[in-house]
Amino acid sequence: MREPVTAYVGLGANLGDPAATLTQAMQRLGSTAGVTLMARSSLYRSAPVDSSGPDYINAVVEVRTFLTAPELLFCLHGIESAAGRERPYRNAPRTLDLDIVLYGDGQISSPALTVPHPRMWLRAFVLVPLNEIAPHRVPVACLNRVLEQVVVGIV
């Protein structure tokens, strides 16, 4: 059996009841075989970035998993689908978006998956909740670069 890996998953939604959807997604992820939910950030509200529609609700969770990164991504896509996720165009408003932002110390570059997430270091809606649960994973310089992006804790 392989060793477990600590991974961080970003969650976001801006359609329907985003806070409830994120909470349900966290529960589903935590009940996935081979995945243990270790920590979850608060929920944060932020304006859409490179997108449109209502404000987003975002969070980050830490998981310990025996799944490979592609297997974890497959599970995340299943959770998104169960929440009614559609992909009509890039950065469309969504009922649920789940992204692997970090997978251990791994670096992955494939057509299906890039880890660390390629835009995470530019997004306060990822860095602020990640910093809440894993400050050792967020360089202060990166947080300083996104200070002008407003994210507001809601729960």
pLDDT tens string 102-154: 999 989 999 989 999 888 999 999 999 999 999 999 999 999 999 899 899 98
Is residue 17 flagged as an active site residue? no
Which CATH number characterizes residue 139's domain? 3.30.70.560
Determine which one of 28, 40, 45, 85 is catalytic. 85
**Which comes out higher in pLDDT, residue 92 or 17?**
17
Is residue 55 flagged as an active site residue? no
Determine which one of 40, 45, 99, 123 is catalytic. 99
> Are the C-beta atoms of 62 and 134 separated by less than 8 Å?
yes
Is residue 85 flagged as an active site residue? yes
pLDDT, mean of residues 4-21 = 95
Q: What does the alpha-carbon distance between residue 81 and residue 83 come to, in Å, rounded to a whole number?
A: 5
pLDDT at 47 over 60: yes
pLDDT at 87 over 80: no
pLDDT at 89 over 60: no
pLDDT, mean of residues 29-52 = 92
pLDDT tens-digit profile of 135-149? Answer: 999 999 999 999 899
Give CB contacts under 8 A, 24+ apart, made by 121-128.
Answer: 121/145, 122/146, 123/49, 123/149, 124/46, 124/149, 124/150, 124/151, 125/10, 125/12, 125/44, 125/46, 125/49, 125/56, 125/58, 125/149, 125/151, 126/10, 126/58, 126/60, 126/101, 128/44
Into how many domains does the chain fold? 1
pLDDT, mean of residues 7-16 = 95
> Are the C-beta atoms of 65 and 35 separated by less than 8 Å?
yes
Determine which one of 28, 40, 97, 123 is catalytic. 97
Determine which one of 28, 40, 45, 94 is catalytic. 94
> Are the C-beta atoms of 61 and 40 separated by less than 8 Å?
yes
> Are the C-beta atoms of 97 and 11 separated by less than 8 Å?
yes
Is residue 99 flagged as an active site residue? yes
Domain containing 79 equals 5-153
> Are the C-beta atoms of 148 and 47 separated by less than 8 Å?
no
